[in-house]
Amino acid sequence: MKKKLDGGLKKILVFFLFFIFSLKSSHSSQILDYETDEFVNQILEDIIKVNKINKKIKFKINNSNEINAFVDINNVIHINSGLIIYCSDYVALLSVLAHEVGHIDLNHIALRIKSSEDSNKYNKIGLLSIIAGSTLTQNPQLIQGSILTTAVISNQNIVFSKDQEMEADIYALRTLNLLKTNSKSIQILLETIEGKLLDKGFSKDKQKISTHPYFEDRILLIQNFKDKQEINYNKNYNERFNYIKAKFIGYSDNEEVLNKLNEPFKSYAESIKIARNGNLKMSLKNLNEIIKKNKNSFLLETKADILFSYGYTDEAIKFYKKNLERYPSNYYAQIRIFENIEIKNLSNSDTEIIFQNNKDLLYKFFNNKNILLKYIELAQKLNKKEWLKFFNFVLSINNIENEDFEIQITNFKKTKDKDLLKLVKIIQNIN
């Protein structure tokens, strides 16, 4: 194994890199994790199908302990890691996602924007639809400062009305009936959120002044919204969800939830936590036992993340590659492999193969500086002057005036290289 770091420097990097499974994008709080992305996409596809929605719903996973999910002005659903940690099964998460999809499908966002514009009340719109309610606020710190603040403390800057929130609740419950599934976990999640709000000093009286449905009303709605259809509880979904939840718990400091996990999920979370605490040997021993007993290729990716964070780059790459063999669309594993390719001793033909085989990363993650820098290294070795010029242009976009940007884009569009032209058009459309 190739170890790049040791001593104090290694300890510092273990601390700061141990959330590398999240592979930060341009938004520092966003978690990019293929296993989680695939699972959430599957859940959303189920919701979309039974509700006969003719568009794809986009989402982002945020690195935040707040039990929170919301829809932004672009109809993108944001899901906090804290929500995943506190959902006791996949149905609870499904119900929250269905609630948010309900706001989108029922056109609540556009209606509230129109209402805001008509009243000329708000100067800046920030849409936050949360499991317990939604708020329009000019102060994003309100969200960061407390769990589900918008559910209880605001009688101003309201984005969705109580009726709209109730409509979204009913939409979620109807979706569960269409999927022929349900679970007590939904009620448990609401009770957990209410308890945490009470702990933070938000009394039931304060909760009642919100325009959002009161917790007891929502729980009563859940209890009475029954369907005679047979429960279709997807055990495969729940196992996948539990692995994801355990991983998020392992990367957090949430002892409360960790101790409630069943095996092998508790051991999985603990193996990550042990590694974060500096005991690589014990972490890998525990993780290897879990890998032997459980057929889950994403365990190999977690092992790779742990090894990489300790500086065992070559060994980590082997496990990223094994995961990529099982999941060829795992761009995040591909990025980790690509970023760590040693180009210096490669032949020009091998360098060209790498250049061609990883261009999908350029198209999908064009704003990833590490990918751009690696491509600059490849282009320099291959003497691809047009590509080099464009890469340097992309790196300096933030310092270019609009008029100069358009002039340079027009010049780059004259290229005869179809792949470069594709990238030029992507950058133009985004900017």
Confidence of residue 375 (pLDDT cuts 50, 70, 90): very high
What is the C-alpha separation between 342 and 374, in angstroms, rounded?
A: 10
- Tens digit of pLDDT for each residue in 399-424? 888 888 899 999 999 999 999 999 99
Please identify which residue in the block is written with the tokens 């959303």: 44
Report the greatest alpha carbon distance in the chain.
71
pLDDT at res. 94: 95
Q: Are 241 and 85 spatial neighbours (Cβ–Cβ below 8 Å)?
A: no
pTM here?
0.80
Across 243-262, average pLDDT: 92
**What's the whole-number average pLDDT of the chain?**
80
pLDDT at 230 over 80: no
pLDDT at res. 155: 29
Please identify which residue in the block is written with the tokens 């300096």: 396
What is the C-alpha separation between 236 and 137, in angstroms, rounded?
A: 39
Across 3-29, average pLDDT: 47
Q: Are 203 and 171 spatial neighbours (Cβ–Cβ below 8 Å)?
A: no
- Tens digit of pLDDT for each residue in 133-189? 333 333 333 333 322 333 332 322 335 667 777 888 888 888 998 998 887 888 888
pLDDT at 200 over 80: no
Per domain, the residue ranges of the chain are 7-18+261-330, 21-224, 348-430
Nearest to 168 by CA among 99, 220, 217, 111: 99
pLDDT at res. 144: 33
Task: List the single range of 48-62, 114-128, 365-379 with lowest mean pLDDT.
Answer: 114-128
- Label residue 336 exposed, middle or buried (CB < 10 Å: 0-12, 13-18, 19+): buried
pLDDT at 26 over 70: no
pLDDT at 70 over 60: yes
Across 127-141, 223-237, 255-269, which has the greatest mean pLDDT? Answer: 255-269
Rg (CA), the chain: 24
What is the C-alpha separation between 200 and 388, in angstroms, rounded?
A: 54
Across 122-131, average pLDDT: 35
- How does DSSP assign 136-172, residue by residue? E-S-THHHHHSTTGGGTS-SSSB-S-HHHHHHHHHHH
Q: Are 63 and 39 spatial neighbours (Cβ–Cβ below 8 Å)?
A: no
Residue 267 or residue 204, greater confidence: 267
